[in-house]
Amino acid sequence: MNDLSLTAATHDVLVVGAGPVGLTLANDLRRRGIRCRLIDSAQEAGAATKAVGIQAKTLELLAKMGVAHTAIERGLKTSLFSIYSDGKRLVRIDFREHLQESPYPYALMLPQHETEQVLTEHFQSQGGAIEWQRELISVTQDEQGVEAMLRHPDGKEERVRVGWLVGCDGAHSTVRHLLGLNFAGTTSELSLALDLELVLR
């Protein structure tokens, strides 16, 4: 039988999922003085590239957190973006035309795992820590907040009381599954190529 412990409500928000969305939320909560706890069921941060670009509006949000400059230093700016399929150009975007009012009139090419690293470093600099291998196994809600059950890697189970729980755990979200929420969608196969014009530092 697993050990069970109850943690007092020492955090305002429990963020489930330490990908780019969860990390961004956790950083912004701490910036606003809101206590949060960030967990992820994975063993460690992923190394896959996945998404490769950060848009101007996201950079503006990162700037408010004080991390946009770090991301820009590690990435490459692109001002022109084209998508080709079957040898035909489907779309061409000139960010300089569409983002004239933004301080970031370009898309920033930065692999997802590097974006996560930037956000992790900033989160840690604010005293935050990602709790890896923490599996959310149940969640209930009442008038006082949320009670979540977490499983640690050694099998120990922990009950946590928080004001809010936010699911940032992706397409196969445990939070969504536990709440019985559907995620309607279809899968389609598409082959395409990207053409980028990079503005090198």
Give the model confidence (pLDDT) of 32-83 as tens digits.
999 999 999 999 988 777 788 899 999 999 999 999 999 999 999 998 888 8
Q: Kindly give, in sequence order, each residue whose CB lies less than 8 Å from that of residue 197, ignoring residues fewer than 6 positions away.
A: 78, 79, 80
Tokens 């980028």 correspond to: 196
Residue 200: is its pLDDT beyond 60?
no
Lowest mean pLDDT of 139-143, 165-169, 179-183, name the range.
Answer: 179-183
The CATH number, out of the four listed (3.40.50.20, 3.40.630.30, 3.40.50.620, 3.50.50.60), of the domain defined by the range 4-199: 3.50.50.60
What pLDDT is attached to residue 3? 55
Are residues 143 and 115 in contact, defined by beta-carbon separation less than 8 angstroms? no
For residues 138-142, average pLDDT? 94
Residue 197: is its pLDDT beyond 70?
no
Per-position b or e across 100-109, b if 16+ CB within 10 A of its CB: eeeebbbbbe
pLDDT band at 199 (very low <50, low <70, confident <90, very high): low
Q: What percentage of residues in the chain have a pLDDT greater than 70?
A: 89
Task: Write out the H or E segment, with its range, that includes residue 175.
Answer: helix 174-179
- Give whole-number Cα distances, 73 to 55, 121, 126, 128, in Å: 15, 14, 21, 23
More confident residue, 70 or 187: 70
Whole-angstrom distance, CA of residue 104 vs CA of residue 187: 33
What pLDDT is attached to residue 9? 57
For residues 176-180, average pLDDT? 91
pLDDT band at 87 (very low <50, low <70, confident <90, very high): confident
Per-position b or e across 33-49, b if 16+ CB within 10 A of its CB: eeebbbbbbeeeeeeee
What pLDDT is attached to residue 109? 92
Tokens 């503006």 correspond to: 60
Residue whose C-alpha is closest to residue 159's, from 8, 2, 1: 8
Task: Write out the H or E segment, with its range, that includes residue 14.
Answer: strand 4-16
For residues 96-107, average pLDDT? 89
Return mean pLDDT, the chain. Answer: 88
